[in-house]
Every structure is written in C-alpha cells, then in structure tokens.
Amino acid sequence: MDFTAPNGQRIRRSADTDDKVQAQELHDRLKSEAWRQVKLGERPSYTWDDAGLRWLDEKAHKASFADDVQRLNWLQSYFRGVLLTEMKKNIIMEVADLKRRETSPATANRYLALIRSILRQCVEWEWLDAALMLRAYPEAKRRVRWLVPEEAQRLLLELPAHLRDMAEFSLATGLRQANVKELEWSQINLFRGVAWIHPDQAKARKAIGVNLTPSAIAVLRRRLGEHHRYVFTYKDHPVTQVSGKAWWNALKRAGIENFRWHDLRHTWASWHIQAGTPLFKLQEMGGWESMEMVLKYAHLAPEHLAAEALNIETILAGLGTFTSQREKDLEENIS
C-alpha cells in the first residue's frame, strides 16, 4: 500500500497478507486513521507490536533483556497486530492462564509483570490513557535451599575439576552464576585480595566489590595460567554451561536432592548469617538492590533478637508462680 497522509507524510508498507480484500480493508483503515489524526487531532492507533518493539529498543540495557525477548516472542503468537486499545483484561488473563497451566503460577507472573510494565510505559509514551490492573497469581513460598558444610564438601569432591573450582569460588564469594562464568583476570587484583563486578555485569546494574577470602584466592591461584583472559575455562574455552549432566550426576553421587547452582549463592548467604554477618553488610556484599531480598535469610540467625525474646520472661515467671499456687491449692483440697 502506498498513500500520502493529509500532513504530507508518505505511508508505504506491506499489508502482510495475500488476500487483496483484506489488504484493501487495511489500506482504507490506515488512510482513514491518518485523516482523523491530522484533521481531528485524534491519537494514532498503536499495536502491541509497536509497543514491544519500542520497549526492546529502550530496555536493551536491562540485565534481564534476554528473558524479555524470550517472553515477548511467546506473547507475539497471541497479541500480534492487536491494538493497544483492544488489550482487554480478560483476554490477557486468558493468555496468562495458558502459561500458568503450561508451567507454573510463578512463571505466568513473570509474563504478567512484563505485560504490566509495557502497558505502563505506553501510558508514559501517551499511547494509552491508563494501564490495566492485572492481578498476579498466588505463589507458594519456597524455602531457602542451602547446604551444611558436610554436604558442600561431598558435592565438591564429586564435581569435575573445572566445576569444582567454580563451585568453591561461588561458596567463597556468593557471586551469581553469570558473574563467575564471565569473570576475567582483568577484574582481579590478587595482591590486594579484591575483585570487582562492573555495573553492566551486575543484576542490579550497580558495581560490586568482592573481598577475596583465602579460599577464593586459593582457587584463583590454581587457575593461573589456564587462560589469558577468562578465569574459569574448560578445554581452553569459557564455561557456558554449569548445570549440565556432570552437575546433576555429582549431586546424585553426593546424595543431595533439590539443589540448583544458584543455591550455592543461598548457601554462601546462609553461612554468613549464621556466622554473625549483619544483614545490611550482607546486602552490600551480595549486591542485592533491596533489603527485602536479604530478609529471607534472617530467620537463620535469630540470636540478634535474644535480648528482646527475654522481655516476656517477667510475665512467664508470674504465670509460673500462679500455676504453682494453683497446684498447691488443688492438693490441699484433695487432702
């Protein structure tokens, strides 16, 4: 189709159909919309596709950008060509329910969160007057999975050398999987005993300073000379997969169930809390954006509330006195 709008703009594009009747219908609609926008000041009609493309263009810096691309690809099969003004709550929730049944409520909520974010952005772009309220599905609260030292030792003994070094380094630093896999020698100063994660490598997009423990330094010294650029490699190539067959077989031989690679980070945090590391310091060490993400470990070290726990003892002592007198009275009555 090829026409000129009343404002002089040339509209030239494919109708994306082999049906001439449909193509003509689309041509006439676009031409009518262009006239109404110029002559009557109406807002242009944007589609979900328009919103998705602009979102990807503006959010390419996000740490979760690859996840957004994957989710948008799945959503396209349902929302391709749909006008934003026709994105109704019941239609969106029907699609989300398909994902919920296919996977889990938690996964479906990630898709809903992306849709909410895009629609809210459309309001900022003045493509929509208001964003829809999309309620998330209830999610079961998961326990924090972590290993006791004896379990960690069994696992390390069962892992192949390259994964053992990576796992031990993760337990010593708490770094996320991607940061360990992509760690370069240029990010390490063994003399000072520090390493750093650049902002563009961190999930929260904030630089993370890492104090290297003796255990972490021991791992790094073993890796010296293995590769000129990357710290952790396998057959002279950066490690791209850690949760493969070797990982799961090692877990099985070590007798450890329901444990993911990311749980090494949970283990590091849990050990720190139990050793007395304050929550606010753990937050900085782990590069968490908010304290809320660290509080899930707080229950592992309730000792910091020991003094407050004793506040009730005065009442309990009085209760004990009352109970003892009551028993004494009952014994006298019986006798």
Q: Does 235 participate in catalysis according to the annotation?
A: no
Residues linked to residue 208 through DSSP beta bridges, in sequence order: 197
List Cβ<8 Å contacts ≥24 apart for 301-304: 301/273, 301/274, 301/276, 303/276
Question: Which candidate in 247, 268, 271, 288 is catalytic?
Answer: 288
Residue 177: name the closest of 216, 232, 225, 217 by CA.
232
The span from the CA of 75 to the CA of 119, in Å, is: 14
Question: Which candidate in 27, 120, 262, 296 is catalytic?
Answer: 262
Q: Does 265 participate in catalysis according to the annotation?
A: yes
Question: Which candidate in 71, 181, 223, 265 is catalytic?
Answer: 265
Q: Does 297 participate in catalysis according to the annotation?
A: yes
The answer to whether 162 and 233 are in contact (CB under 8 A) is: yes
Q: Does 262 participate in catalysis according to the annotation?
A: yes
The answer to whether 131 and 119 are in contact (CB under 8 A) is: yes
The span from the CA of 72 to the CA of 93, in Å, is: 16
Q: Does 36 participate in catalysis according to the annotation?
A: no
> Tokens at residue 290, please?
């908010």
The answer to whether 52 and 74 are in contact (CB under 8 A) is: no
Phi and psi at residue 28, in whole multiples of 5°?
-65, -40
The span from the CA of 256 to the CA of 249, in Å, is: 10
Phi and psi at residue 148, in whole multiples of 5°?
-80, 160
Q: Does 230 participate in catalysis according to the annotation?
A: no
Three-state DSSP state, 286: helix
Question: Which candidate in 59, 203, 205, 227 is catalytic?
Answer: 203
Burial class (CB in 10 A: 0-12, 13-18, 19+), 50: middle
The span from the CA of 179 to the CA of 199, in Å, is: 11
Alpha helices in 202-312, H assignment, sequence order: 214-223, 245-254, 263-274, 279-286, 306-309
Question: Which candidate in 71, 99, 176, 272 is catalytic?
Answer: 176
**Residues carrying an active site annotation:** 176, 203, 262, 265, 288, 297
